[in-house]
Amino acid sequence: MLTQKESACKNVITEKMKEVAKKEGITPESIRNKIEEGKVVIVCGNGRKVPVAIGKGLRTKVNASIGTSSDIIDKDMEVEKAQIAEQSGADTLMELSISGDFDQIRRDVLKAVKMPVGSVPLYQAAIESIQKFGAIVKLPDEFLFETIEKQCEDGIGFMAIHCGVNRLTLDRLRNQGYRHGGLVSRGGAFITAWIVHNKRENPLYERFDDLLKILKKYDTVLSLGNGMRAGAISDSTDRAQIQELIINAELAQRAKHEGVQVIVEGPGHIPIDEIETNVILQKRMTNEAPFYMLGPIVTDVSAGYDHISATVGASLSSAYGADFICYVTPAEHLSLPFPEDVREGVIAARIAAHIGDTIKLKRRDMDLNVATARRDLNWEKQFKFFIEPEKGRKIRERHLPKDRETCTMCGKYCALKIANAFFTECEPET
């Protein structure tokens, strides 16, 4: 079976291309063209039915991540979180469990949702290697590649794989004197420990062609991981992060050449004046491969409200050209997220994606609909176009105004109602 990339390169328009083109409101030929150029990918998963396109010129997509921790292993809660993410409008899910029965959790989550599901297969391979071989650093290459293939076969649609953390990247990290905020990527930390302990090159880098063969067989999208992402704004855009980006850009080129669909992940904490630079660097170096931005969180002091900091960062990054953003929940840096945190995180990320699209794609129809409905005091029409109508409705109905056309903010002194009376015949140019 050909991958979407191989089909596109042979000038073939697949059913999945037609399906995503319809959802995006563009032509299938335009999707095919962008997949051929490596600027768009279609994420789906072996045997799964709902394709999602990510990349240039398309609506910014939102990912929600769930998964057990070593302290809280509750499969049912993770399944519930996955379903809440889907109901709240996430486009994709990452199943990132680090404890429990990895295979069972993954399969149950895949069954529970229709949207594409991603993973970091290194988590399962590294953590199971503690029981099987005695330590994470004893993880054999073959076991890692077998785990990747097993997850692809199960239907995982995209995989974050930390190929760009190699000996050169670690030299850069050491030479710059490590970091103020340390290393915060779990995958990055596992691979770093493995390389340093074994005095060997990262097998995901050294045997990149073997990795591509597996991903190609299942048309699983390669998401080149950002193991050197900064976890503090004082570490952003440093030499280790840029070194990994250079390596990832070279690997993305090789993946595209082999017919494997690829996206490249971006950093975690960045001050707002470095966001545009990070988007330009990634897009320029990878010939506009889809950019998966993790957050970014734009200050280190907003714990409890990091979903708000991330909304600021994600709005700017999607406006500058990021194609795919990973949600952040209010529990970020504090605990494993619970179902309500997932809901809040997805809604915040969808707002950020929409803000980005009002600039990047000039998509302002929803905003215009709300504006005119608000002017006309048409509350039902406003709710219809809100990203999260239920919360808006609930807040309004906490205390209904005496005059139902208005709200309790100004009541009988409603500015809109007063001014509308003088402009009944007018309609602005659009």
Residues that bind ligand SF4 (CB under 6 A): 406-407, 409-410, 414-416
User: Smallest distance from the beta carbon of 351 to ligand SF4, in angstroms?
Assistant: 20
Nearer CB in complex with ligand SF4: 305/379: 379
Nearer CB in complex with ligand SF4: 107/396: 396
Nearer CB in complex with ligand SF4: 395/410: 410
Residue 301 tokens, joined: 């002091």
**Number of Cβ within a 10 Å radius of residue 117:** 25
User: Smallest distance from the beta carbon of 404 to ligand SF4, in angstroms?
Assistant: 11
279/322 Cα distance (integer angstroms)? 7
Nearer CB in complex with ligand SF4: 363/374: 374
User: Smallest distance from the beta carbon of 417 to ligand SF4, in angstroms?
Assistant: 6
Nearer CB in complex with ligand SF4: 64/373: 373
User: Smallest distance from the beta carbon of 378 to ligand SF4, in angstroms?
Assistant: 11
Residue 295 tokens, joined: 């957050």
Q: Is 223 exposed, middle or buried (0-12, 13-18, 19+ CB in 10 A)?
A: buried
Burial 154-174 (b: 16+ CB within 10 A, else e): bbbbbbbbbbbbbebbbebbe
Question: Which amino acid type is present at position 416?
Answer: L
User: Smallest distance from the beta carbon of 389 to ligand SF4, in angstroms?
Assistant: 16
User: Smallest distance from the beta carbon of 36 to ligand SF4, in angstroms?
Assistant: 49
Instruction: Report strand pairing: 92-95 vs 61-66.
Output: parallel
Those residues whose C-beta lies under 8 Å from the C-beta of residue 302, and which sit 6 or more positions away, are: 308, 309
Nearer CB in complex with ligand SF4: 142/403: 403
Helices (H), 223-364: 239-257, 275-285, 306-320, 339-360
Residue 345 tokens, joined: 């995180």
- Tell me the three state secondary structure of residue 296: coil
Taking a C-beta distance cutoff of 8 angstroms, is the pair 80, 368 a contact?
no
User: Smallest distance from the beta carbon of 405 to ligand SF4, in angstroms?
Assistant: 8
User: Smallest distance from the beta carbon of 412 to ligand SF4, in angstroms?
Assistant: 9
216/230 Cα distance (integer angstroms)? 30
**Number of Cβ within a 10 Å radius of residue 184:** 18
Nearer CB in complex with ligand SF4: 77/377: 377
Nearer CB in complex with ligand SF4: 302/406: 406
Please compute Rg for the chain using Cα positions: 23
Residues in the chain: 430
User: Smallest distance from the beta carbon of 62 to ligand SF4, in angstroms?
Assistant: 29
User: Smallest distance from the beta carbon of 291 to ligand SF4, in angstroms?
Assistant: 38
User: Smallest distance from the beta carbon of 415 to ligand SF4, in angstroms?
Assistant: 4
222/357 Cα distance (integer angstroms)? 25
- Nearest 5 degrees, angle CA 115-CA 80-CA 188? 70
Q: If we measure between CA atoms, which residue out of 357, 325, 269, 300 comes closest to residue 65?
A: 325
Those residues whose C-beta lies under 8 Å from the C-beta of residue 97, and which sit 6 or more positions away, are: 67, 68, 78, 105, 106, 123, 124
What does the H/E/C string look like for 23-89? HHCCCHHHHHHHHHHCCEEEECCCCCCCCEEEECCCCCEEEEEECCCCCCCCHHHHHHHHHHHHHCC
281/274 Cα distance (integer angstroms)? 11
Nearer CB in complex with ligand SF4: 143/383: 383
Nearer CB in complex with ligand SF4: 199/402: 402
Nearer CB in complex with ligand SF4: 303/410: 410
